[in-house]
Structure 1
């Protein structure tokens, strides 16, 4: 029932958002809304804000590429699947790094004091600036026959964004057991590893699952931004760039690509929900 309720709320939110979009387009001035000389709401012309019906029809429109003729929906789906693979690869790397950092900070107090501020600070670096740097550093990496590929830089950026919520959420979960339970394990002469496996990790699950959802969505954001910054020929980031260059003639295609990128984040978060179902028994206070 909770899953159906959440799905219904998401659907209701989309309907309300679409209604507000159409209401604003039909009632607001074509030049948008400004406060003095500062614009605060966007313009409503078709070149800036097409009707939802135009965006819907754009998915079915045809485009011609060197590989042949395909629909906009087909191009977005193919590019989105490529981006999703890179994002999930980066997410797995970010998951491993985030969990290991959380365990290290939970085990050693000085590690938490030394690492946590830098982990937080790492997320303040503009992603659009660091992506070309990682690509440039990777291009100089050579080990025997190994050669750094552009997609690897995209996966690194995805991992860079996803590890932060995972490490913070996991650390909070590892510290969630009450003092009574910790003292009970100590009285039973349980070592650090036994306490971690039997007490702290199960207690961390309710904190980890939301962090994983955020990390999965962040990995998609990182992958899309990296694709646009580095210039990866495949992926939905490239599709967004291509359609943005055509926006003066058909802006609805650009909005269709942006919607496709947003759906990738929802798909990534939905995949984490499968793990949520498998670990439901660890999440106290939840009902089916």
Structure 2
């Protein structure tokens, strides 16, 4: 209930901030020393939120499907690509975190490069991935465009999982580790029975962040590679009509934002049963 109230309060605050700035803001934007520090408040740059909601119900083209239907189909297409990239990125991040926890030399040698990998601009990375993956194939199955987008999504998703899980795997106290050693437990049993359960409070926030990052990677990948059918491509197509139909552009942006929230909410649903089980175990132990 608290989370629901907080979400509704945040949504109400956003609506009030948007409409309030549009009511009192300068249509040409606020400029200080020749630099625009606040956006334009005219209808072309900031349409009313009610106009955006109404545009969702009107046809995309004359006699065509309503905009909400087109946006929903595009979000579902991007969701499939995001799911593949998220799964691959989470798996890579899990393996890297386990290796870095197991071998200190791997952590010292690999962790700086894991952090450094996130400084590469996606706009420059996407054409590079599309270029070298174009000649790949899996037997009789050639490399598809959506695989390139999933690779970019995985590239953004693995980082928070690797760093967050590594911190969680290193969180057990020294006394707990010594207790496992006194039972003659090896690394794998200690990992499963002690380190991995202790890492759950660190893992799920990292997974939520990875899910949102995978959506960003998928959208940017669709825009950079020109992959059709997704919400990223829809943003580009609707942006061409920004001068004549500005509310239409925001419908695609709204779809992309809701897609990121949906992925994060799905991860939170997975978290509930596991964390409740963990709390029951802790209570029973105490």
Q: Shorter-normalised TM-score: what interval? A: over 0.9
- For residues 205-237 of structure 1, the C-alpha deviation after alignment (integer angstroms, 9 at most, x for no partner) is 111010000001110110000000100011001
Q: Are 1:62 and 2:59 an aligned pair? A: yes
- For residues 35-65 of structure 1, the C-alpha deviation after alignment (integer angstroms, 9 at most, x for no partner) is 1210000001111111111111111110238
| Residue 143 of structure 1: how far off its partner (Å) | 4.6
Which position in structure 2 is the counterpart of 1:71? 66
Question: 2-side partners of 1:237 and 1:168: how far apart?
Answer: 28
SS at match of 1:24: helix
- For residues 74-103 of structure 1, the C-alpha deviation after alignment (integer angstroms, 9 at most, x for no partner) is 000000000011101110001110000000
Which position in structure 2 is the counterpart of 1:42? 39
Question: 2-side partners of 1:93 and 1:220: how far apart?
Answer: 13
5+ long unaligned stretches in structure 1: none
Which position in structure 1 is the counterpart of 2:223? 228
Which position in structure 2 is the counterpart of 1:194? 189
Question: 2-side partners of 1:232 and 1:286: how far apart?
Answer: 48
Question: 1-side partners of 2:41 and 2:33: how far apart?
Answer: 18
Structure 1 segment 134-213 matched on structure 2, within 5 A: 134-213=129-208
Question: 2-side partners of 1:5 and 1:285: how far apart?
Answer: 25
Question: 1-side partners of 2:70 and 2:138: how far apart?
Answer: 35
SS at match of 2:65: strand
Question: 2-side partners of 1:273 and 1:131: how far apart?
Answer: 29
Which position in structure 2 is the counterpart of 1:282? 278
Question: 1-side partners of 2:137 and 2:187: how far apart?
Answer: 40
> Structure 1 270/143 Cα, relative in aligned 2: closer, same or farther at 3 Å?
closer
Runs of 4+ in 1 over 6 A off after TM superposition: 284-287
Question: 1-side partners of 2:139 and 2:95: how far apart?
Answer: 29
> Structure 1 255/284 Cα, relative in aligned 2: closer, same or farther at 3 Å?
farther
Contact 1:176 1:203 in 2 (8 A): yes
Question: 1-side partners of 2:12 and 2:281: how far apart?
Answer: 31
5+ long unaligned stretches in structure 2: none
Which position in structure 2 is the counterpart of 1:17? 14
Question: 2-side partners of 1:108 and 1:284: how far apart?
Answer: 32
Contact 1:217 1:266 in 2 (8 A): yes
Structure 1 segment 75-154 matched on structure 2, within 5 A: 75-154=70-149
SS at match of 2:235: helix
Residue correspondences, number: 282
